[in-house]
Structure 1
Amino acid sequence: MQFRKLAPGILAAAFVISSSAMAAPVKTEAVITKVEGNTITARTMTGPLTVVLTPSTDIAQTSGLASKKTRDTKSLIPGLIFTVDGDLQGQTVTAEHIRFKEKDWRTAVAAKAGTVEQFSELRKAVIEGQEYIIREETAVYFPTGSAVIGATYKQKLREIAEKAPSFGNYRVSILGFADPRGNAAANERLSEKRAKAVSNFLRQTGYIQPGRVLSPSAMGEGTVAPGEAAPTGNDAARRVVVRIVTPKTQLTK
């Protein structure tokens, strides 16, 4: 029996046709576990899934039956439930469309516990993007080099914690700051300790559900909270800003 020897170009064409045949259209729901650049690691009911984003991937947030808002990749965060459709090869989908519900995005934001950088992006989306409205705000001030909450400020924190549930679908934003003296890296660590101390105290008051407290953020020195006036001196710079926020679409007071 004789076998014909195929030319390299024919072999290449055959490989492309074979690879294309392996791809199948799919639409599935999953939850994001990790985001790295244009690759999303997710999990479906049946197992792990990798989602690859391309420049033509259409990403949108839905609210109700007809409302749709175009979003970018920064909206795709761990914990978000989403629907993807595209071409499936093995356990990898090249996404054509990604859709997620507004309420699921808010839930993912509220449950987020990641790095300072990740939380900073979320904070910007939540507050600077006006997704949320500030309902109550207070500041806790600290002595030089300290992360210990004074008695006066503990009382203020109890008061704002007790009031928080009255706003319905609330979240608690906690931003820690330091004055500009000393080493910048040390000041950032100190601002983180202050933010965590306030977060822990609020959780321990018994008034606030832990899942409604956003991960405390270390803002370091020389920065301000969105919409906040710049500190007038070092005493005012050593602070933690606590805000009770609610979705701008919320109708309750």
Structure 2
Amino acid sequence: MTRLQAVFWDVDGTLADTELNGHRQAFNQAFADCGLSWNWNEQLYSELLSIPGGRQRMQSYAQRVGDTLDAELLERLRRSKQQHYLKVVSSGAITLRPGVSRLLHELNRADVQQWIVTSSGEASVLALIESFSGELTGIFEGMVTADDVYRHKPHPDPYQLALDLSGSDRASVVVFEDSTPGLQSARAAGLCCVLTPSPWDRELENSQQHASAVIDQLGEDEQKARIFSGPPCAEGLITLEYLELLLSATSR
């Protein structure tokens, strides 16, 4: 069985449910702060999530509605959104997804490297880690954020940088993702990807077959994981043993 060296975690929608009640609210408050009449409801925001990265999302939406975002306004929006998001996170409104804390600590005890690889900015990630200080502090070896690469997901650059920084063999790494851009990024970097699909990603159904496994969540004793594709998981818990089984199956 292949030994697992590292796990690369996406954040938004994978580690934690941050999008609709976290980032979306912060965007809307930033729009109001900067005098824009934009308001992203849940349906609209779900559509915009196909665009990875907040800056790119705002630029794309501006083009869509015929507004102009110059560099100064875009930077004001970015700073305001970040401040509001930090407040949302510190309020305790964000929750980790089922099974995440359990698996993080199992991998940590087994000395498996764990890295964050995300299209969010570093400040947002650090705020999330701090808000879960009892569960996330000291878990991650490092992170690759939107601030570290020029080309974001779906390009392979974020995961390639994580491979370089961690010194891991790509055949011994598992990625956790929830979206089409994330899955495409991981696969383009030649990595085994476990997908926990986000309900708002409408394109994902057409690309799920490229994931090594597709599950609804990682599983708790009282809330078992459902495996939609990939090796069976008899106890309903995604574990170190399951991830190593997945790597071995993928390498055949």
| TM-score bracket, shorter-length normalisation | under 0.3
What is the TM-score of this pair, normalised by structure 2? Answer: 0.25
Rg larger in 1 or in 2? 1
What is the TM-score of this pair, normalised by structure 1? Answer: 0.25
**Higher helix content, 1 or 2:** 2
**Higher strand content, 1 or 2:** 1
